[in-house]
Structure 1
Amino acid sequence: MESFNAALASFNDGLWLYLVVPVLAALCLYFTVRSGAVQIRLLPDMFRSVVGKSAPAPGQKPVSSFQAFAISAAARIGTGNIVGVATAIALGGPGAVFWMWVMGLVVGAASFVESTLAQLYKVKDGKDFRGGPAYYMERGLGKRWMGLLFSVVIIVTFSFVFNSVQANTISGAVGTSAEQILGETPGWLAPVVGVVLTAVVAAIVFGGLHRIANTAQLLVPLMVVLYLGLGVLVVALNVEKVPDVVGSIVGSALGFQEFAAAGVGTAISQGVRRGMFSNEGGLGSAPNAAATATVSHPVKQGLVQTLGVYVDTLFVCSITAFIVLVSNPTYGENAGPTMTQQALQSSLGDWSLHLLTVILLLLAFTSVLGNYYYGEANIAFLTRRRGAMTAFRVVFLVIAFLGSIGSVQLVWTLADTTMAVMALVNLAAIAPLSTIAFRLMRDFTAQRKQGLDPQFTRDRLPGVRGIECWEPREHEPEREDVLAR
């Protein structure tokens, strides 16, 4: 089994380095140029959109922009922000952080495109909305087979594999704190954690989309503030080291300094790959959450999800990097999983490990909820059978329990492969559909210049089929019809 895992890991390295990363980087640069750097140029609108109020139809209880943002952030901001970033530094040196930042800025364009398209092609599901890559593959490209492939892959990757990984992280974090307090980890602890986790998750997911959205809206800001506060405290206590840390990040990234076996190529590979793992831009996961929001224009949620990439990469991942680097870490393949914990302990003492346990619990728990919803949206795409959703929920909960008590090394390696497939299928879809996203962007900015709150109805996009929602409303103010041009 170990030899198979090693062979698969080697295959994944080549797949990401020579196919996924070049394709993603090339498309993100194209989107950036084509959109006039929308991910930077419309930054003020991102903040306006994330706090904007929804205008629901009569009888509708909407999911707000912020709630949709919170659902995607719940899945985005997970243990990868702590363990994954540390692993990237361990293998790629401080320079990996620089390339993670670059990737975060560039990939924002892909996040904008995919989430704007998810809003445009969303469908009604009772009083709520559903959507995502599978839906714009079917409705925008007319390729249902492509949507079916994507749906199966995202369910396997997020709802099954990542679900077990996050459940295992929760169990492991509790076990680590228990060992610190008791001197050992009781054998009964993991099963008990698994039962409690399964029960709490069941109470939320069987409550539907709004219960998931409300939980994410409550917990995501809490965990982000807690972790950022912890990181700022570490940096403040080591403020004299910050200039050297910044110098090592830039120097290692550009080849002026070498760390361990990490050359520039390794730094780029680790930074780009871990950056995408963390912020999920272009991967096709966040659009499933973006489609749930009730907004007046698709571009608004595209901008909100781009902001999510920045929160994940430029804030949460960066604070992990500084926590690790101010502690003068030892680099190497085996150092990654424990680097953050060791760095916190050396700066703040043993109590910080228990606070990190609480943060890991929040990170992993909210990721479980986000991963669940991605599966729910795609189960609904695959089949309308009433029992299918219930069966999916039961399987999801069983996997959460098994993940709490088992080992997940092999499934994590398999996730690398399925994530690569997800990314390639999604990128193949948004490349041709990006033209529509940029038409929507021009309409949005034109309305802004008129001093209007941008509104969209499907009659403003003549000749484009597959749009189910966005019915025209009466008494709309006069707006320059940019889309019809």
Structure 2
Amino acid sequence: MNWLQNEDVATWLGDQGNVLWGNIVLPVVIAAGLYFTIRTGAVQLRLLPNMLKTLTDKALVDENGNKKSISAFQAFTISAASRVGVGNIAGVATAIAVGGAGAVFWMWTMAFIGGASSFVESTLGQLYKRQGKDGYRGGPAYYMQHGLGARWLGIIFAIILVVTFPFAFSSLQANTITATITGAVGLDATADAAQITTLSWVIGVALAVLTALVVFGGVRRIAKVTESLVPAMAVLYIVLGIVVVSMNIGQLPHVFGMIYSEAFNFNSAIGGGLGMVLLTGVKRGMFSNEAGLGSAPNAGATASVTHPVKQGLVQTLGVYFDTFIVCTVTAFIILHTVPDAVGSEGGVAITQLGLANALGSWTGTLLAVIIFLLAFSSVIGNYYYGEANIGFITSNPTVMTVYRLLASLAVLGGAVAASSVVWNFADGIMGIMALLNLVAIILLSPKALALLKHYTAQLRDGKDPVFLASDMPGLRGIECWEPSDVRTQ
């Protein structure tokens, strides 16, 4: 595993990733988000009240009164479990270190614009979902096959998603857990290298065992675990941020001024000017909120709802929750308390330093607990995304068992790897995944727009929107939208 610690490997991965993002991914992400915002009439803002209302919908039932699948809220928590993780703490800290305070502005901007992309992809995920043995399954691979008629593309996407989420992103979660615990116990990277290596292996093995215990339990156990963990960990971290901001309330106007002024800084002190600030904000924003990435539709498709648009709205709300609340808390903690964050190495250590400066060294232990909850729930969410896509490729139970073992071992590998290798690899593979998904949802967007029109027409009539396949006879590749699929209590 020496290559996992090799800085030359990290540098090469970083250079290739920057070329990919700067020349291809960034323009496509921005263009797609603006296109969907215009075509949907800014659905991400216009239907915000309906997002909140839909979150309370109950799971639908079969002819015997049993739940058909998980509820809208449980699907929300599975996707939130993947979204709300180290990207909100270590990722935002790195964005500020590399892109300055202005990177936060571009994270906010792309969350709003990307909310439209998230709406389209999750609506399509619902439309083309399939009935599995323990509930619904769906996602980009499914709408690539059944919507575009390109199973080959769906298989390519499924493979890339498996590499990205349960392997690269889960490795990153484990890596950050290790870094946080190392910082909390006061080990120095240079003086205590041997101790850090030993501790990393202990943490990695423990995380791998915990992951295996959960992932062999199936999607319903995953939904139950994330439904319990996500609200608790998010509230605890948000409360910490509110306390820090309240203690430094006089600096708040200055912090906002930094964010907005440096967002358009053409002569950035960190080098790269506006392009670096923008690129950093968009990359870290997508890693955190996953808008348009093609991950959330895998969770959104599992919900039993009466209309596909409902999950499009719920998953857009997830983007807002992740970026405007959790990421903003991290940004305010750092910008209020760490004056020399820009140009530092970045990572979770900056957030640890900010909390320690504001509240005392005891917060190192508390943050380690919070990050463990955030990151471990992300590992669970990431695993499910991979399971859904392995199931798309093959139904062979042996393949699924091997996948579960490898997903658990990936956590071990991430815990002992150099953070630069893990971050740079995750960035690059995420860009490829986003490109494939965005191209697919642009091609299929007329279907999502027709569904939005269908949904809003029923809203105007005072109805709780219900969709049946027979409502749009021209649709092809639809399996689940029959009367039995939308049966309510």
TM bracket (short chain): over 0.9
Look up the match of 2:250. Answer: 240
Equivalent residue runs for 1:190-205 within 5 Å: 190-205=200-215
**8 A Cα contact 2:283 2:427, kept in partner:** no
Residue in 1 that maps onto 2:148: 141
Cα drift, residue 331 of structure 1? 4.1
Give the Cα separation in 2 of the matches to 1:4 and 1:172. 20
The one-character-per-residue Cα deviations of 1:388-426 (angstroms, maximum 9, x if unpaired) are 111111111122223333435324322222111101110
Match of 1:446 among 440, 457, 467: 457
Structure 1 residues 343 and 474 mapped into 2: Cα distance closer, same or farther (>3 Å)?
closer
- What is residue 13 of structure 1 aligned with on the other side? 18
Aligned residue in 2 for 1:102 = 109
Distance across 2 between alignment mates of 1:52 and 1:475: 12
Sort the Cα spacing of 1:245 and 1:476 in 2 relative to 1 into closer, same or farther, 3 A. closer
* 8 Å contact from structure 1 (residues 160, 396) kept in 2: yes
Deviation at 1:273, TM superposition (A): 1.7
Report deviation, 1:257. Answer: 8.4
Specify the alignment match of 1:482 in structure 2.
none
Match in the other structure for 1:407: 418
Contact 1:178 1:185 in 2 (8 A): no
State whether residues 13 and 421 of structure 2, in contact with CA within 8 Å, keep that contact through their aligned partners in structure 1.
Answer: no
TM-score by length of 1: 0.94
Q: Deviations over 1:441-477 (max 9, x none)?
A: 1111111111111111111121111111011359999
Query: 2:326 corresponds to which residue?
Result: 316
Q: Does 1:220 align with 2:227?
A: no
Distance in 2 between the 1:255 and 1:30 partners? 26
Is residue 284 from structure 1 mapped to residue 294 from structure 2 by the alignment? yes
Identify which of 375, 379, 382 aligns with 2:390: 379
Decide whether aligned partners of structure 1 residues 304 and 137 sit closer, same or farther in structure 2, where only a CA change above 3 A counts: same
Deviations 1:361-388 (A, max 9, x none): 0111011101100110000001011211
The letter for the 2-side match of 1:38 is V
**TM-score, L = length of structure 2:** 0.93
Maintained 8 Å contact 2:338/2:350: no
396 and 30 in structure 1: CA distance in 2 versus 1, 3 angstrom threshold:
same
What secondary structure does 1:124 align onto? strand
Are residue 151 (structure 1) and residue 158 (structure 2) matched? yes
| Contact 1:98–1:271, Cα closer than 8 Å, also in 2 | yes
Q: Give unpaired runs (5+ residues) of structure 2.
A: 1-5
Task: Output the amino acid matched with 1:345.
Answer: A
User: What is the SS of the residue equivalent to 1:62?
Assistant: coil
Percentage identity across paired residues of the two chains: 50
Alignment of 1:63-462 (within 5 A): 63-179=70-186, 185=195, 188-255=198-265, 258-261=268-271, 263-337=273-347, 338-462=349-473
How many residue pairs align between the two structures?
Answer: 477
Name the amino acid aligned to 2:41: G
Partner of 1:129: helix, strand, or coil?
strand
Equivalent-residue separation in structure 2 for 1:260 and 1:187 (angstroms): 32
* Residues 193, 331 of structure 1: alpha-carbon distance in 2 compared, 3 angstrom cutoff: closer
Q: 1:473 to 1:167 in 2, by over 3 A?
A: closer
Distance 1:325 1:143, change over 3 A: same
Q: Classify 1:475/1:309 alpha carbon distance in 2 versus 1 (closer, same or farther; 3 Å).
A: closer
Most deviating of 278-287 and 7-16: 7-16
Which residue of 2 is the match for residue 27 of structure 1?
A: 32
Give distance in 2, aligned partners of 1:405 and 1:7.
20
CA contact (8 A) 2:121 2:312 kept: yes
C-alpha separation in 2, matches of 1:331 and 1:231: 17
**Which segment drifts farther, 139-148 or 170-179?**
170-179
Q: What does the per-residue CA deviation read over 1:295-321, in whole Å, with 9 as the maximum and x for residues that have no partner?
A: 111000000000000001111111111
* Residue identity in the other structure for 1:273: K
Contact 2:60 2:71 in 1 (8 A): no
Mapped contact 2:59–2:68 kept (Cα < 8 A): no
Deviation of residue 333 (structure 1)? Answer: 3.9
Contact preservation (8 Å) 1:135, 1:381? yes
Partner of 2:3: none
Indicate if the aligned counterparts of 1:72 and 1:286 stay in contact, CA closer than 8 A. Answer: yes
User: For residues 89 and 103 of structure 2, what CA distance do their matches in structure 1 show?
Assistant: 14
Q: 1:52 matched to which residue of 2?
A: 57
Matched residue of 2:473: which SS?
coil
Q: 1:367 to 1:421 in 2, by over 3 A?
A: same
**Aligned in 2, Cα 1:18/1:405: closer, same or farther, shift over 3 Å?**
closer
In the alignment, the residues of structure 1 paired with residue 486 and residue 242 of structure 2 have an alpha-carbon distance, to the nearest angstrom, of: 50
Q: Aligned pair in 2 of structure 1 residues 185, 222: CA closer, same or farther (>3 Å)?
A: farther
Q: Which moved more, 1:394-403 or 1:126-135?
A: 394-403
CA change 1:371–1:221 in 2 (3 A) is same
Contact 1:329–1:339 (CA under 8 A) maintained in structure 2: no
Structure 1 residues 230 and 172: alpha-carbon distance in aligned structure 2, compared to 1, 3 A threshold: same
